[in-house]
Structure formats: structure tokens, C-alpha cells
């Protein structure tokens, strides 16, 4: 049977398509796209003439089954999403699940993701980190969600929309305090890229003072005061110290 390639595409800057991605997209028989018109912009940039199929949440079951048929007949299929890495808060789960069940070879063509691009520059503790993708859109549910993360034992990373980001950061200040260490990545790889690392209070001030800071695409993160591993290590050191004390 054919191979299902899962191909990462740019998160803003069209130059961020890997050499391998170009080759695979050119050579495969079908490209399953979240939005075919959106992906055409990337394909045009690289002169890729792809035979595309739209695969999104409304037709995922039907089209995934059809794509599995193509793969079983020996054709190669690439999966792309509108931006970044498929299945990272993007469609494709059903197709991948069916491919695994059918014993089809799957292969990643790695590249950009807003998640890893952000963590690579923001200098927040990533051991461990928890990625939530999109968090609840309704304000009351989001507040509850933030409260459920307390006490923070890992750095928590989210995708947030520009419509809600101010409210979201306000809630972070309320729940975790103005001194909580947070990060924000806005418009990564694009013209108005902005990376923020500081306290939640400072981020809120920045957003309130400059409405341009509320435009575009966002990744947010809150850092654990004491990550779980450090907390556990501290505990172990303390009990070791207690055990040794009588002998000193």
C-alpha cells in the first residue's frame, strides 16, 4: 500500500517549508487539505501542482475512508492543514486512526508549529509542560479551566484567539496573581512577531496600553512556580537530610 505523509507547512512565513515537504507534496498522488484554497497559496509559492482533496471536520469520516481506499490501492497521500503541523489543534485524527487500523505506513514530514516555535524562544520551563490547544471560549468556563490548573506543577501552554486574549490574560492575573511568570508569542514568523516573557501583570499592562498587541494569532503560557520534578527533588533532598542528620 501507499504511504500517508503528514506534512507540516508554514505558520505565517511562506519560506518555512522544508525541502522534504516540497518533494513529498510534489511527488504524492493526493494532498488532503484542511482548506484547499488556503494551501494553494503555499503550493503556488513552490510551483507544486498537487491533486487536492478537502478534509475538514464536516466531511472527515467520509473523505478519510475514501483516502484509505487510495492508500490501499498503492497511492501516496500527504496530509496538510492550514498552518503548522497537522493534528496539533488541527483536523486529521480520523484519517490517521483509520490508517493505523488498516496497517498503512504513516510518516511525518516535520516542520513548523506555533507550539514548538514559541517554546523554543520564550525560556519558560518546559520540563514538564502541558499543551491544551484551544481553551474554553466562554469566559466563565475559561475561568473554571484556569482554576483547575492550580496548583501549577507544569508550564501550561494554550492557543488563544485575538477576540478573547485580553479577557484571558485578565483571568490569568485573577487566578494566578499579577506576579505569575507568563509568556506570549504573537504573529510568530510574521511581520509583527512579538515575544513576551515577564509577569502576568506586565503582560496585562502591555495589552491595555497598546491595542496593536491584541491583533493577530497568539500562543500563551503560564509557568509553574515550582515544576513537579523540582518539587519532588526538593522533597527527596529534604528527607535525605533528615535521615542523615542524626549521624552528623
The C-alpha atoms of residue 58 and residue 69 are separated, in whole angstroms, by 19
Binding of ligand SAM at residue 84 (CB under 6 A)? yes
Q: Which residue has the cell 519532588?
A: 232
Residue (84 or 227) nearer to ligand SAM, CB: 84
Binding of residue 131 to ligand SAM (CB under 6 A) = no
Instruction: Indicate the DSSP class of residue 84.
Output: B
Q: What's the grid cell of residue 59? A: 466531511
Judged by CB under 6 A, which of 176, 187, 203, 223 binds ligand SAM? 187
Q: How far is the CB of 198 from ligand SAM (least distance, A)?
A: 18
Q: Does 95 bind ligand SAM (CB under 6 A)?
A: no
Instruction: Answer yes or no whether residue 195 interacts with ligand SAM by CB under 6 A.
Output: no
Whole-angstrom Cα distance, residue 220 to residue 118?
A: 9
Task: Show Cβ contacts of residue 39 under 8 Å, excluding neighbours closer than 6 positions.
Answer: 9, 31, 33, 50, 52, 80, 82
Is residue 186 within 8 Å of 159, Cβ to Cβ? no
Single out the residue of 196, 194, 202, 195 nearest to residue 172, CA to CA: 202
Give the nearest distance from C-beta 235 to ligand SAM in angstroms.
36
Tally helices (H) and strands (E) across the chain: 9, 10
Are 222 and 150 spatial neighbours (Cβ–Cβ below 8 Å)? no
Shortest distance, position 180 Cβ to ligand SAM, whole Å? 20
Q: Strand, coil or helix: what is 7?
A: strand
Smallest gap, in angstroms, from Cβ of residue 85 to ligand SAM? Answer: 4
DSSP 8-class letter at 29: S
Q: Per CB under 6 A, does 16 bind ligand SAM?
A: no
Choose the binding region for ligand SAM from 95-103, 147-155, 156-164, 200-208 (rule: CB under 6 A): 156-164
Stretch that binds ligand SAM, among 59-67, 139-147, 155-163, 237-245 (CB under 6 A): 155-163
Q: Are 238 and 219 in contact (CB under 8 A)?
A: no
Distance CA 66, CA 51 (A): 14
Stretch that binds ligand SAM, among 43-51, 121-129, 180-188, 228-236 (CB under 6 A): 180-188
Closer CB to ligand SAM, 184 or 227, in the complex: 184
CA 84 to chain centre: 8
Inter-residue contact 3 to 104 (CB < 8 Å): yes
Residue from 175, 180, 200, 219 that binds ligand SAM (CB under 6 A)? 219
Task: Please identify which residue in 39, 52, 85, 155 interacts with ligand SAM, judged by CB under 6 A.
Answer: 85
Nearest residue relative to ligand SAM (C-beta): 84
Q: Which parts of 53-82 interact with ligand SAM (CB under 6 A)?
A: 81
CB nearer ligand SAM, residue 71 or residue 220: 220
What residues line the site for ligand SAM (CB under 6 A)?
11-12, 81, 83-85, 88-90, 113-115, 159-161, 185, 187-190, 217-219
Amino acid at each position: 500500500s501507499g504511504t500517508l505523509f503528514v506534512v507540516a507547512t508554514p505558520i505565517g512565513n511562506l519560506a518555512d517549508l522544508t525541502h522534504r515537504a516540497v518533494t513529498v507534496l510534489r511527488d504524492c498522488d493526493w494532498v488532503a487539505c484542511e482548506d484547499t484554497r488556503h494551501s494553494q497559496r503555499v503550493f503556488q509559492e513552490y510551483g507544486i501542482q498537487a491533486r487536492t482533496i478537502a478534509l475538514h471536520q464536516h466531511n472527515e469520516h467520509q473523505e478519510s475512508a475514501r483516502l484509505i481506499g487510495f492508500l490501499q490501492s498503492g497511492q501516496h497521500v500527504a496530509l496538510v492543514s492550514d498552518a503548522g503541523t497537522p493534528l496539533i489543534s488541527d483536523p486529521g485524527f480520523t484519517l490517521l486512526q483509520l490508517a493505523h487500523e488498516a496497517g498503512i505506513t504513516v510518516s511525518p514530514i516535520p516542520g513548523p508549529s506555533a507550539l514548538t516555535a514559541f517554546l523554543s524562544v520564550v525560556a519558560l520551563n518546559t520540563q514538564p509542560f502541558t499543551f491544551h490547544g484551544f481553551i474554553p471560549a466562554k469566559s466563565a468556563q475559561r475561568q473554571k479551566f484556569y482554576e483547575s490548573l492550580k496548583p501549577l506543577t507544569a508550564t501550561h501552554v494554550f492557543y488563544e484567539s485575538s477576540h478573547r486574549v485580553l479577557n484571558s490574560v485578565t483571568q490569568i492575573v485573577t487566578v494566578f496573581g499579577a506576579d505569575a511568570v507568563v509568556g506570549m508569542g504573537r504573529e510568530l514568523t510574521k511581520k509583527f512577531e512579538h515575544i513576551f516573557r515577564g509577569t502576568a501583570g506586565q503582560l496585562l499592562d502591555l495589552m491595555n496600553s497598546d491595542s496593536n498587541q491584541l491583533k493577530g494569532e497568539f500562543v500563551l503560557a503560564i509557568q509553574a512556580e515550582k515544576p513537579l520534578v523540582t518539587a519532588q527533588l526538593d522533597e527527596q533532598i529534604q528527607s535525605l537530610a533528615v535521615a542523615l542528620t542524626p549521624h552528623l
